[in-house]
A and B are shown apart, each in its own frame.
Chain A
Amino acid sequence: MTHPKKKLALVIGSGAVKCAAALGLWQVLNRAGIEIDLYVGCSGGSLYAAVMALGLSAEECIEKTKSLWNRSVTKRRNWRSLLQTILPGVLGFDEFFGMVDDRPLLRNLEKAFGERTFSETRRPLHVVATNLLDGEQVVISDGRLVDALRASISIPYIWPAWRIGDQTLVDGSLVNPLPIDVAILEGAEIILAMGFESPYPHRIKSISRYAFHINSMMTNNLLRANFAFHNLAHHAEILTLLPEFDKPVRLFDTDEFSYVIDKGAKAAEEQLPYLERLLETAG
Chain B
Amino acid sequence: MELISGQSNGVLVVTIQGSVDALTAGQVQGYFDDLLEKGERQIILDLSQVDFMSSAGLRVIMTVSKNLRQDGGELRLAAAQPPVEKMLKISGFTTILKSFASLDAALGSFQG
B55 touches A237 (CB 8 A): yes
Looking at B42-50, B56-64, B68-76, the stretch in contact with chain A turns out to be B56-64
Pick from A227, A232, A236, A237: contact of B90, CB under 8 Å: A227
Contact with B along A220-238 (1 / 0, CB 8 A): 0001110110111010111
**In this complex, which of A224, A225, A228, A281 has the most chain B Cβ atoms within 10 angstroms of its Cβ?**
A228
B56 touches A274 (CB 8 A): no
Known: A224-B92, A232-B62. A238 touches B19 (CB 8 A): no
Known: A232-B58, A239-B54. A227 touches B91 (CB 8 A): yes
Interface residues of A in 103-151 (CB under 8 A from B): none
- Decide if A251 is an interface residue (CB 8 Å cutoff): no
Residues of A within 8 A of B21 (CB): 237, 274, 278
- Decide if A277 is an interface residue (CB 8 Å cutoff): yes
Size class of the B contact interface (CB-based, 8 Å):
10 to 19
B102 to chain A, nearest CB (A): 23
Known: A227-B90, A278-B22. A232 touches B54 (CB 8 A): no
Known: A242-B86, A277-B23, A281-B23. A228 touches B54 (CB 8 A): no
B92 touches A234 (CB 8 A): no
- Nearest CB to that of A180 among chain B residues? B55
B90 touches A224 (CB 8 A): yes
Interface residues of A in 209-229 (CB under 8 A from B): 223-225, 227-228
Residues of B within 8 A of A224 (CB): 89-92
Contact with B along A8-25 (1 / 0, CB 8 A): 000000000000000000
Q: Complex Cα distance A241/B58, Å?
A: 15
Contact with B along A228-266 (1 / 0, CB 8 A): 101110101111101000000000000000000000000
B69 to chain A, nearest CB (A): 15
Consensus secondary structure, chain B interface: helix
A277 to chain B, nearest CB (A): 6
- Nearest CB to that of B52 among chain A residues? A274
Pick from B55, B62, B92: contact of A238, CB under 8 Å: B55
Interface contacts (Cβ under 8 Å), in number, total 53
Known: A274-B21, A278-B22. A240 touches B92 (CB 8 A): no
Pick from B19, B23, B52, B55: contact of A231, CB under 8 Å: B55
Q: Complex Cα distance A40/B24, Å?
A: 28
A274 touches B92 (CB 8 A): no
Interface residues of A in 55-114 (CB under 8 A from B): none
B12 to chain A, nearest CB (A): 25
B62 touches A278 (CB 8 A): no
- Nearest CB to that of A277 among chain B residues? B23
Q: Complex Cα distance A91/B54, Å?
A: 52
Residues of A within 8 A of B62 (CB): 232
B91 touches A228 (CB 8 A): yes
Known: A231-B58, A232-B59. A240 touches B87 (CB 8 A): yes
- Nearest CB to that of B90 among chain A residues? A224
Residues of A within 8 A of B91 (CB): 224, 227-228, 231
Residues of B within 8 A of A237 (CB): 21-22, 54-56
Pick from B23, B58, B86: contact of A278, CB under 8 Å: B23
A274 touches B19 (CB 8 A): yes
Nearest 10 CB-CB pairings of A with B: A228-B92, A238-B55, A231-B55, A237-B22, A228-B91, A231-B91, A231-B58, A237-B56, A224-B90, A227-B91
**In this complex, which of B86, B90, B93 has the most chain A Cβ atoms within 10 angstroms of its Cβ?**
B90
A199 to chain B, nearest CB (A): 15
- Nearest CB to that of A274 among chain B residues? B21
Residues of A within 8 A of B59 (CB): 231-232
A225 touches B56 (CB 8 A): no
Residues of B within 8 A of A195 (CB): 90
